[in-house]
């Protein structure tokens, strides 16, 4: 599918002297916007009341969006790699904003299916394309620090929720005088206020993402940062200088091992993230009453958000120094130990519970941010965006599996609001098992066999070109 | 704004304006700082 010439990859090839530090804000402009997807809880109850529906019916909107993220990233990954980041960011901006506009129409006219179609399906496509759009570009601009580069962008996805949550409350307060976010006089926002919020987000996100689309550039073939010696990359056994196409990558055991790694890491993280607020209250319940107030529980969710975001940047950057495989051994191995501690001694002190959960969430974020660099190490830069897109189906699957495991287990243990720490143990030990599976899968990852490598003449990042670069 | 669009075949050297880089970082940095501040404020309720 051809794109208009102003979006074409050929139009955005950087000339010598271009400063690569303009690329991270371009990527962040997209990820900060699409990260709003994790802030839907802020108006979820208002939508339940407005549609006179159930939490499940409204919650499906978010589930559709995440499933569409995985599907569209997998389906459009090759298109994104072929047409470049500007076309991808532009398309993502159009879909993401259109999703808000259609969703707003659905809320304003009380038609839930329009909300499903708008925010869920159309917005979800924007999410998937937007999520992968800057990844391969960043990896090519930062061959010396790919973990840092992708960590910065994917940190933006976590940051997007941090911005959208308070901003939504502020805007709904402006659009509905009766709305009180929390406290004794708490009052839900009207459907009209949420519809206007969606319209506002549609306009603001369109402008922001377009800014990213128009400042982004791709490096010229053979470009390398000053002082960077590609032979140092080649020297690491788990880092290839060959290229594997997306079509071939999914035929390799390495791709499916990483799929399992990502699935296990995300499922385990979501287990805590999904239940964070009631979980801390349940862990410290004595004689039917929790010692943790609702406002403190909200604070706990805030702490987790900060660690989720920080982990994306810190751990992914660390992986540039210690390697991708070792850092996943930390995420999964240390994460496993932390989960065991959470299940066994987590209820002995609030501070201990918070520290353990925060570290687990930092590994969850780190797992997301490091995976593109891991893919680049194994499959090269050739079609890393498309391969990353296909791998994100693991996220979509984990988005369904994680909450399902936790909710199913808790349903068998008792009634919400009366649960205690021991009721969470079965779910937490299932997560321990999953992390063990992920740990083993990561241990089995070896360099990709030469038979999957692209012929040197066709490859984008060949030894010959590298030799040219090093001259 | 554009620093690299054009006939790259000529390989003309370009210079990205520092102001543009600062503006781009501010545009993403300011909302991020706002979000961080609000989240830290909420998180402080825990302690």
Q: Give me the DSSP letters along A64-96.
A: HHHHHHHHHHHHHHHHHHHHHHHHHHHHHHHHH
Closest CB to B24: pick one of A22, A159, A298: A22
* Cα separation values, A435 from A67, A326, A339, A431, B27, Å: 22, 15, 9, 6, 38
pLDDT higher than 60, residue A101: yes
Closest CB to A15: pick one of B4, B39, B44: B4
Contact A92, A126 (CB under 8 A): yes
pLDDT higher than 90, residue A86: yes
Contact A401, A271 (CB under 8 A): no
Contact A385, A150 (CB under 8 A): no
Q: Residues of A95-124 as b/e, b for ≥16 C-beta within 10 angstroms?
A: bbbbbbbbbbbbbbeeebebbbbbbbbbbb
Closest CB to B46: pick one of A156, A214, A296: A296
Q: What is the ipTM of this complex?
A: 0.81
pLDDT higher than 80, residue A332: yes
Model confidence band, residue A334 (pLDDT cutoffs 50, 70, 90)? very high
* Cα separation values, B40 from A17, A89, A298, B43, Å: 39, 30, 11, 5
What are the chain B neighbours of A298 within 8 Å (beta carbons)?
42, 45
Q: Residues of A244-276 as b/e, b for ≥16 C-beta within 10 angstroms?
A: bbbebbbebebbebbbbbbbbbbbbbbbbbbbb
- The pLDDT of residue A146 is 87
pLDDT higher than 70, residue B7: no
Q: Residue A120's closest CA among A75, A69, A157? A: A69
Q: Are strands A285-286 and A289-290 parallel, antiparallel or unpaired?
A: antiparallel
- Tell me the CA end-to-end span of chain A in Å, nearest whole number: 37
Identify the residue whose tokens are 């394309």. A129
Closest CB to A306: pick one of B15, B21, B43: B43
- The pLDDT of residue A457 is 54
CA distance A156 to A309: 8
Q: What digits encode the pLDDT tens for the residues A108-143?
A: 999 999 999 999 999 999 999 999 989 888 988 998
pLDDT higher than 70, residue B10: no
Q: Residue A353's closest CA among A290, A413, A444? A: A290
User: Residues 281 to 320 of A: which have CB under 8 A from any B CB?
Assistant: 295-296, 298-303, 305-306
Question: Domain A230-467 belongs to what topology?
Answer: Growth Hormone; Chain: A; (1.20.1250)
pLDDT higher than 60, residue A458: no
Q: Which residue has the higher pLDDT, A103 or A229?
A: A103
Tell me if B4 and A302 make a contact (CB, 8 A cut-off).
no
Q: What digits encode the pLDDT tens for the residues A382-433?
A: 888 899 999 999 988 888 888 888 888 888 888 777 888 888 899 999 999 9
Q: What digits encode the pLDDT tens for the residues A48-71?
A: 889 998 877 887 888 889 889 989
- The pLDDT of residue B24 is 96
For the structural domain made of A5-9+20-215, what CATH number should be given?
1.20.1250.20
CB pairs under 8 A between A and B: 114
CA distance A169 to A175: 10
What are the chain A neighbours of B11 within 8 Å (beta carbons)?
15-16
Beta-bridge mates of residue A290: A285
Q: What letter would DSSP give residue A187?
A: B
pLDDT higher than 80, residue A220: yes
Q: Residue A372's closest CA among A208, A39, A138, A198? A: A138
CA distance A194 to A46: 8
Model confidence band, residue B8 (pLDDT cutoffs 50, 70, 90)? very low
Contact A89, A34 (CB under 8 A): no
Q: What digits encode the pLDDT tens for the residues A335-390?
A: 999 999 999 999 999 999 999 999 999 999 999 999 999 999 999 988 888 999 99
Closest CB to B8: pick one of A15, A28, A166: A15
- Over residues A254-273, the mean pLDDT reads 92
- Give me the percent of chain A exceeding a pLDDT of 70: 95
**Mutation target among A24, A42, A161, A163 for the B interface, most CBs of B within 10 A:** A163
Tell me if residue A408 falls in helix, strand or coil. helix
What are the chain A neighbours of B42 within 8 Å (beta carbons)?
166, 298-299, 301-302
Contact A282, A459 (CB under 8 A): no
In chain A, residues under CATH classification 1.20.1250.20 are 5-9+20-215, 230-467
Chain A: closest CA distance from residue B4 (Å): 4
pLDDT higher than 60, residue A303: yes
* Cα separation values, A266 from A67, A302, A363, A389, A399, Å: 14, 19, 9, 16, 8
Q: What digits encode the pLDDT tens for the residues A224-235?
A: 888 887 776 666
Tell me if B4 and A217 make a contact (CB, 8 A cut-off).
yes
Is A15 an 8 Å CB contact of chain B?
Answer: yes
Model confidence band, residue A291 (pLDDT cutoffs 50, 70, 90)? confident
Contact A151, A370 (CB under 8 A): yes
Contact A212, A43 (CB under 8 A): no
Is A435 an 8 Å CB contact of chain B?
Answer: no
Model confidence band, residue A81 (pLDDT cutoffs 50, 70, 90)? confident
Q: What digits encode the pLDDT tens for the residues A154-207?
A: 889 888 988 998 899 899 999 998 888 776 677 888 999 999 999 999 999 999
CA distance A93 to A86: 10
- The pLDDT of residue B13 is 80
Q: What digits encode the pLDDT tens for the residues A4-28?
A: 888 888 889 998 889 999 999 999 9
Q: Residue A194's closest CA among A173, A214, A216, A215? A: A173
- The pLDDT of residue A1 is 66
pLDDT higher than 60, residue A241: yes
């Amino acid at each position: 599918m051809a794109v208009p010439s102003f979006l074409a990859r050929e139009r955005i090839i950087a000339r010598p002297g271009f400063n690569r530090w303009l690329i991270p804000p371009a990527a962040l402009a997209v990820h900060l916007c699409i990260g709003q997807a994790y802030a839907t809880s802020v108006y979820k109850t208002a939508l339940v009341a407005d549609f006179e529906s159930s939490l499940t019916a409204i919650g499906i909107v978010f589930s559709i969006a995440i499933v569409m993220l995985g599907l569209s990233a997998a389906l459009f990954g090759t298109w994104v790699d072929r047409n470049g980041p500007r076309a991808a960011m532009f398309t993502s901006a159009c879909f993401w904003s259109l999703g808000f506009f259609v969703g707003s129409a659905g809320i304003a006219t009380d038609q839930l299916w329009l909300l499903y179609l708008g925010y869920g399906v159309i917005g979800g496509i924007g999410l998937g394309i937007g999520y992968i759009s800057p990844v391969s570009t960043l990896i090519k601009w930062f061959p010396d620090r790919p973990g840092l580069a992708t960590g910065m962008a994917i940190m933006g996805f976590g940051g997007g929720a941090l911005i959208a949550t308070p901003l939504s409350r502020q805007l709904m307060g402006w659009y509905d005088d009766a709305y009180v976010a929390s406290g004794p006089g708490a009052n839900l926002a009207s459907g009209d206020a949420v519809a206007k919020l969606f319209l506002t987000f549609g306009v603001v996100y369109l402008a922001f993402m377009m800014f990213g689309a128009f400042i982004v550039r791709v490096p010229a073939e053979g470009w390398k940062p000053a002082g960077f010696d590609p032979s140092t990359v080649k020297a690491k056994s788990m880092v290839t200088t060959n290229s594997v196409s997306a079509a071939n990558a999914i035929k390799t055991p390495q791709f499916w091992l990483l799929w399992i790694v990502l699935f296990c890491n995300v499922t385990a993280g979501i287990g805590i993230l999904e239940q964070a607020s009631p979980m801390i209250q349940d862990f410290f319940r004595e004689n039917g009453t929790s010692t943790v107030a609702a406002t403190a529980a909200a604070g706990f969710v805030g702490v987790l958000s900060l660690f989720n975001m920080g982990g994306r940047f810190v751990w992914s950057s660390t992986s540039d120094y210690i390697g991708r495989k070792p850092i996943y051994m930390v995420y999964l191995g240390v994460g496993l130990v932390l989960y065991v501690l959470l299940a066994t001694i987590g209820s002995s002190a609030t501070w201990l519970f918070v520290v353990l959960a925060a570290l687990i969430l930092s590994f969850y974020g780190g797992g997301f941010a490091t995976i593109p660099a891991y893919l680049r190490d194994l499959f090269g830069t050739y079609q890393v965006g498309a391969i990353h897109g296909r791998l994100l189906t693991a996220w979509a699957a984990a988005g369904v599996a994680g909450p399902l495991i936790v909710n199913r287990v808790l349903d068998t243990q008792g009634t919400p609001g009366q649960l205690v720490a021991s009721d969470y143990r079965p779910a937490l030990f299932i997560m321990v098992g999953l992390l063990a599976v992920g740990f083993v899968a990561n241990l089995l990852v070896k360099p990709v066999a030469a038979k999957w490598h692209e012929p040197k003449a066709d490859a984008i990042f060949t030894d010959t070109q590298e030799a040219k670069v090093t001259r | 704004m554009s620093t690299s669009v054009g006939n790259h075949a000529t390989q003309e050297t370009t210079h990205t304006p520092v102001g543009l880089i600062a503006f781009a970082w501010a545009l993403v940095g300011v909302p991020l700082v706002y979000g961080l501040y609000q989240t830290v404020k909420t998180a402080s309720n825990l302690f």
